Amino acid sequence: MIDYHHDYYRGLAKLYFLRIVDTIIRLGRLRNEKGLILDFGCGFQYLKKRLRQPNIVGYDLIKELSDVKDYRRLKPAVIVCNNVLEHFSLADIEKLLKQFRKMNASCTLVTAIPTENFLSKIGMVITGQRDAHADHKSSLADITTLLSRYCVLLRRRRLFTLSEIAVWRFHPLVLGETFL
């Protein structure tokens, strides 16, 4: 099991994860973003380190890694979830999506989610991270189906077939809900 209190971006895995961050920046068009960017599940804040812009705020469940205590008080223009959503149950992801939409219904959501295919299993062995997916609770397919209920897919790209990076925009209303 990965200890998220320690930086696991090492060796080949670091090259791969930094490529994901660079793809998020490019696909999400974050270099041109002037509004607030919330890096939800920021970990060791590689997005902030790579982008080097003052408008990025990191939030993580591990308090010492966070810039803020309560992300729900923010009004981000963009929310980035890099290798985060798969760690939540679908019910918890749905709650998160509702919170994100309440924070700013017109924000952009950028996600990176592992595909967990045969090649990723080989990659876990090569990088020495054999149990990298052990704490995942939701799959890419299920998360994408749920996201499609709340958002419109704007762009997406597969990275080495191992991860899918996608850019989403929230629907103002979702199936029978009233927007507050």
Q: Render pLDDT for 66-107 as a digit per residue (tens, 0 to 9).
A: 999 999 999 999 999 999 999 999 999 999 999 999 999 999
Q: Each residue of 105-155: pLDDT tens digit?
A: 999 999 999 986 555 555 555 555 555 555 778 999 999 999 999 999 999
| Percentage of residues of the chain with pLDDT beyond 90 | 68
Strand order in the sheet with 108-114: 56-59, 37-40, 78-82, 108-114, 163-170, 151-159
pLDDT of residue 177: 56
Residue-averaged pLDDT of the chain? 86
pLDDT at 180 over 50: no
In contact, 78 and 35? CB cutoff 8 Å: yes
pLDDT of residue 34: 96
Q: Tell me the whole-structure pTM to 2 decimals.
A: 0.85
The per-residue b/e assignment along 28-67, b for 16 or more CB within 10 angstroms, e otherwise, is bebeebeebbbbbbbbbbbbbeebeeebbbbbbeeeebbe
Q: Does domain 11-170 have CATH number 3.30.870.10?
A: no
In the structure, what pLDDT confidence band is assigned to residue 20 with cuts at 50, 70 and 90? very high
pLDDT at 166 over 90: yes
Between 1 and 67, name the one with better pLDDT.
67
